Amino acid sequence: MQAVITERDKLKAQLNILKANTQVTVDRRPQGAIIAATPGVQPTAVLALSAQLTPSEREALHKAISPNYLEDRGLREGSHGEIVNERGRTVFEVGLYPCDSQSA
């Protein structure tokens, strides 16, 4: 029994050494993306226009901006394309992407 415990402790020590020396990098950028770098700006993944959305994503976006869908949720499209609520307050501005809001 003592030999089994010693072997277990040795394996745990080896595992901890491996964990300490391993670096896992998770890259969630789509395959085929080109990284565009501009001086003074954080590098950005750029995709061909046809590769940016899957058909189901494109369909979901078309539904999300349809007048019936917006109306069911008390929203409407403003005069410049922004989405506003029933009080006239802007919910989504024109052309505002999540990456744009970080730089603003």
Q: By residue range, what is the domain housing residue 78?
A: 2-103
Q: What is the pLDDT of residue 7?
A: 96
Res 98: pLDDT: 46
The pLDDT profile of the chain, 104 residues, written as one tens digit per residue, is: 999 999 999 999 999 999 998 887 776 666 666 677 778 777 776 666 666 677 888 889 888 888 899 999 999 988 888 889 999 899 888 864 544 444 43
pLDDT at 100: 42
SS3 31: coil
pLDDT at residue 15 in the model: 94
Sequence-distant (≥ 6) Cβ neighbours of residue 69 within 8 angstroms: 63
**Matching residue, tokens 């964990």:** 19
Alpha carbon separation from 97 to 9, 11, 39, 92, 102 (Å, rounded): 51, 49, 21, 9, 9
> How many folded domains does the chain comprise?
1
Exposure on the CB side of residue 50, measured as CA atoms within 13 A: 0
Cα–Cα distance for residue pair 77/65, rounded to 1 Å: 8
